[in-house]
Amino acid sequence: MSQILIVDDNDKYANNLISYFSSKEISCDRATFAADGWKLYSNHKNYQMIISDVTMETQTSGLWLMRDIHKDGYTGIKVIASTGFDVFGVMTFSKWFLPLFCGLHWMIPKVPLKKGIVEWVPTRLSNKDSKPY
């Protein structure tokens, strides 16, 4: 069973995440759209971590996916990887708002991810002293 679910319609970002976790010998499942992510999650609710993009089928489908997963009672680590985090001020607002909206623990900006660097940015729900992986 895969430990991590990655939901992203962009192959470059998703493949960089998969490579990152593969280097740590952690297996991943991938969905390309939020609707497919929900199906995988619904069939395998024991993922340790779920990482989702925001913009897929719609401009906010990933946010709603994470909210639905949160409202379903998922207790694992929730992460959003988004180009929106690369805009000045968005991450500061998001680290307070997204934990309320969808129980978010970590954020991954996509500018570093595009280069293959996974930068873990904590929200107020995360343990800032230890990265999840």
Strand order in the sheet with 77-82: 28-31, 4-7, 49-52, 77-82, 106-109, 121-122
pLDDT single digits (tens) 62-90: 999 999 999 999 999 999 999 888 888 89
Region 4-122: CATH code:
3.40.50.2300
Rounded to whole angstroms, how far apart are CA atoms 8 and 55?
A: 8
Task: Output the pTM of the full model.
Answer: 0.94
| Domain locations along the chain | 4-122
pLDDT single digits (tens) 112-122: 999 999 999 99
Mean pLDDT of the chain: 93
Helix/strand/coil for 38: helix
User: Using an 8 Å Cβ cutoff, are 110 and 8 in contact?
Assistant: no
Beta bridge partners of 18: none
Is the pLDDT reported for residue 1 higher than 60? no
> Which band of pLDDT confidence, cut at 50, 70 and 90, is reported for residue 107?
very high
Is the pLDDT reported for residue 15 higher than 70? yes
Query: Would you mind telling me the total number of residues written for the chain in this entry?
Result: 133
